[in-house]
Amino acid sequence: MNKKEQTEKEDDVSERPHKGNVTAKTTSRVTSNNYDTAVVDENGKKADRFLFEDVPHCKDGSADPGTQVETEDQTQAEEVPTEKVLTGGGKVLSETSPESCDSRNGCGVAGDQMVFWQSADGRCHYTPIRDMLAEGEIQTVAVSRSPLRADLTAVSRRAKRPAGGKLVEISTREGMSAKVLQGQCLLTMAGDGTIRKIRPDEMAEGKTLIPRAQPNIPHGTGPHTLDLKTQTGRGKQFEILLDREAGFIFGMYAAEGSAAGRGCKSVSFGMGEKQLRKRVESVLDRWGLNTWGNDDTYMGTTCTALGRRLAKTCGRGAENKRIPGFLWTAPRPFQEGFISGYFSGDGTVNGGEICATTTSREMAEGMVFLLGSMGVRASYRTYEIDREERYLDQHLIKVYQEGIENFPVLALTRKQKRAQKIKAEETKISRDRIPVPKGLKTEVVRAMKSADLSHSIYETGYSSRPRLKQAYGDLPDRMQALVQAPVWWEVVDSVEQIGPTQRAYDLGMQQRSNFMMSGGLLAHSTS
């Protein structure tokens, strides 16, 4: 196999392994008995799961996206669709030439960019965009223009394009990043206060602000219990309530746990805190499970049903840990318990910061998104560490002051006391900036009644949310709406070329012209 063939094969996501036990009678029906999703053919065999529609790159003569101002949810570009029937039982999807694409540099996002989506069976997933199902009805998060709010929105079209340009990575001061083609637009604030598109080459480092929305995901719409059973029916079979205590166990496993032995029957937790060991022992005892271990470093239990479920949903090995898929629709107490267990085990609360480190990028991505859905601002940065002559990526998750009052109570008392201090502290320098539209600067400056703040607003083009709240009653209506919107604004720190890619991905939205990726950043939909 030559290098080109190998590259194309690695990029062909239809060859990725499938997870889960599936049963179905018809092509492309999605079913599962273990919170995983797969596509099966009419014989019940696993079919190619990721069948994105291949579409040609945009044509020459496309409109310049950087100068268009949008005031409606849906882009009003004229498109001439042509029908294309997908093979393998796929349905008819329209093939269009996007008017908002920069034909010279290409548009679309990199295949590894994370997106949150809900399949037709109601289950939610947080995966790379290339791993989205291309069959059946799905929804993903998009932001409405007025009011600014991020909700699940129907996806009308999924496209995979040959990349027509190089990838660029847009990084913000707060640690967020997005990898897109050079012609792909994100969103920013226009001078009149509306949201408009902006290309990477238009972004001014240190000045351009791009919105990062707080996703409104369907907490509590899924099952409130979880069956722990083995396929053979041997061993302990039981049902657990998805409450805060259950979330704590799953969070502790994601942070400090392992499942080993035949059938993952041995579940252990490595922890030196006596309080945490007692808490774990109490929950396992409530579930009727015996525990073993020592008093200093670890404890565990023997239960194949629990071990398999933890390994399947949260992963095995530190580098493969992840947020369990069923958590997204689990009751809020379970989600809070998961965060509490994870940060009590793997987190650090010191020096006015709440942090956690992991070698799993998937865990870091998922945790940042989960916290964002609760109104807690967080991000992660990646560092390379040398461990026994093997270089590993270490991902540092950092929780910011914005929304920290919504951060769940930690199970470990000493960490919770420090976290409570951080919550009570008054922020001296807020990272929670809100852009002040050019047309509203005079009114906002007049409302602020401060010469120093006036100079800052004219100089930077933004002000902090806490300061704007102090003058809230005197602000113009549009500015009040921006203050109340569940959106954080990120300052672009750098825009760097990172090389070519084989494929670019895009989503067409039924009601809105954007979709959320990378923990809350917004890409403009060009389909």
Strand pairing class (149-162; 53-54): parallel
Please check whether residue 511 lies inside any domain of the structure: yes
Query: What mean pLDDT do residues 161-190 have?
Result: 91
What pLDDT score was predicted for residue 237?
A: 86
Same domain flag for 446 and 510: no
Question: 349 - beta bridge partners?
Answer: 354
HEC assignment per residue over 8-31: HHHHCHHHCCCCCCCCCCCCCEEC
SS3 call for 121:
coil
Which helix or strand (DSSP H or E) is residue 456 part of? helix 451-460
Answer whether residue 307 shows pLDDT above 60. Answer: yes
**Residues 398 and 355 sit within 8 Å (Cβ to Cβ):** yes
Please check whether residue 188 lies inside any domain of the structure: no
pLDDT in tens, 498-510: 988 888 999 999 8
- Other Cβ atoms within 10 Å of 462 Cβ, number: 18
In the structure encoding, which two tokens stand for residue 145, read together? 């223009």
Same domain flag for 49 and 76: yes
Q: Phi and psi (nearest 5°) for 123?
A: -85, 150
Lowest-confidence region among 31-35, 106-110, 261-265, 338-342: 31-35
Query: What mean pLDDT do residues 324-339 have?
Result: 98
Lowest-confidence region among 12-21, 127-136, 181-190: 12-21
Please check whether residue 322 lies inside any domain of the structure: yes
What pLDDT score was predicted for residue 391?
A: 67
What pLDDT score was predicted for residue 84?
A: 31
Query: Domain boundary residue among 390, 424, 458?
Result: 424
Contacts of 148 (CB under 8 A, 6+ apart): 195, 211, 213, 481, 482, 485, 486, 487
Query: Domain boundary residue among 402, 424, 446?
Result: 424
Q: Can you spell out the DSSP letters for 53-82?
A: EE-PPPPTT---GGG-B--SSS-------E
**Residues 315 and 359 sit within 8 Å (Cβ to Cβ):** no
Lowest-confidence region among 1-5, 171-175, 193-197: 1-5
Query: What mean pLDDT do residues 248-257 have?
Result: 97
Contacts of 424 (CB under 8 A, 6+ apart): none
In the structure encoding, which two tokens stand for residue 513, read together? 């012209």
pLDDT in tens, 273-287: 999 999 999 999 999
**Residues 196 and 69 sit within 8 Å (Cβ to Cβ):** yes
pLDDT in tens, 405-435: 999 999 999 999 999 998 888 776 788 999 9
Query: What mean pLDDT do residues 243-268 have?
Result: 95
Same domain flag for 479 and 517: no
**Residues 136 and 479 sit within 8 Å (Cβ to Cβ):** no
Same domain flag for 456 and 506: no
pLDDT in tens, 340-360: 999 999 999 987 889 999 999
Same domain flag for 253 and 299: yes
**Residues 497 and 524 sit within 8 Å (Cβ to Cβ):** no
Instruction: Select, from the ranges 22-31, 62-71, 469-478, the one with the highest average predicted confidence (pLDDT).
Output: 469-478
What pLDDT score was predicted for residue 53?
A: 55
Answer whether residue 48 shows pLDDT above 90. Answer: no
Answer whether residue 79 shows pLDDT above 70. Answer: no
Residue 409 CB burial class (10 angstroms; 0-12, 13-18, ≥19): middle
pLDDT in tens, 442-500: 999 999 888 778 888 998 899 999 999 999 999 999 999 999 999 999 999 999 999 88
Answer whether residue 257 shows pLDDT above 50. Answer: yes
Same domain flag for 389 and 481: no
Same domain flag for 335 and 233: yes
Answer whether residue 144 shows pLDDT above 80. Answer: yes
Same domain flag for 346 and 280: yes
Structurally, how many domains does the chain consist of?
3
Please check whether residue 214 lies inside any domain of the structure: no
**What confidence tier does 269 reach under pLDDT thresholds 50, 70, 90?**
very high
Same domain flag for 292 and 354: yes
Domain residue limits at 456: 433-485
Same domain flag for 329 and 355: yes
Same domain flag for 402 and 263: yes
- Other Cβ atoms within 10 Å of 274 Cβ, number: 10
Same domain flag for 481 and 376: no
Q: Give the C-alpha separation, 93 to 116, whole Å.
A: 22
Of 461, 378, 479, 401, residue with least CA distance to 209: 461
What does R_g of the chain's alpha carbons equal in angstroms? 24
**Comparing 388 with 94, which gets the higher pLDDT?**
388
Residue 261 Rama label (left phi>0; alpha psi -120 to 50; beta): left
Query: What mean pLDDT do residues 60-88 have?
Result: 32
pLDDT in tens, 374-405: 999 999 999 887 766 666 789 999 999 888 99
Which one-letter amino acid corresponds to residue 51?
A: L
Residue with tokens 């997106």: 115
What pLDDT score was predicted for residue 271?
A: 87
What pLDDT score was predicted for residue 72?
A: 37
What pLDDT score was predicted for residue 177?
A: 94
What pLDDT score was predicted for residue 221?
A: 95
Query: What mean pLDDT do residues 16-23 have?
Result: 34
What pLDDT score was predicted for residue 450?
A: 81
SS3 call for 332:
helix
What pLDDT score was predicted for residue 108?
A: 94
**Residues 272 and 266 sit within 8 Å (Cβ to Cβ):** no
Cα-based angle 199, 202, 205 (whole degrees, multiple of 5): 115
Query: Domain boundary residue among 424, 459, 475?
Result: 424
Answer whether residue 263 shows pLDDT above 90. Answer: no
**Residues 99 and 63 sit within 8 Å (Cβ to Cβ):** yes
In the structure encoding, which two tokens stand for residue 298, read together? 């670890």
Please check whether residue 176 lies inside any domain of the structure: no
Of 266, 263, 260, residue with least CA distance to 231: 263
**Residues 514 and 524 sit within 8 Å (Cβ to Cβ):** yes
Q: Give the C-alpha separation, 318 to 363, whole Å.
A: 10
Please check whether residue 366 lies inside any domain of the structure: yes
Residue 326 Rama label (left phi>0; alpha psi -120 to 50; beta): alpha
In the structure encoding, which two tokens stand for residue 204, read together? 């001014």
In the structure encoding, which two tokens stand for residue 488, read together? 């954080």
Please check whether residue 276 lies inside any domain of the structure: yes
Answer whether residue 29 shows pLDDT above 60. Answer: no
Which helix or strand (DSSP H or E) is residue 468 part of? helix 465-470
Please check whether residue 179 lies inside any domain of the structure: no
**What confidence tier does 326 reach under pLDDT thresholds 50, 70, 90?**
very high
Q: How high is the mean pLDDT of the chain?
A: 81
**Residues 101 and 75 sit within 8 Å (Cβ to Cβ):** no
What pLDDT score was predicted for residue 368?
A: 97
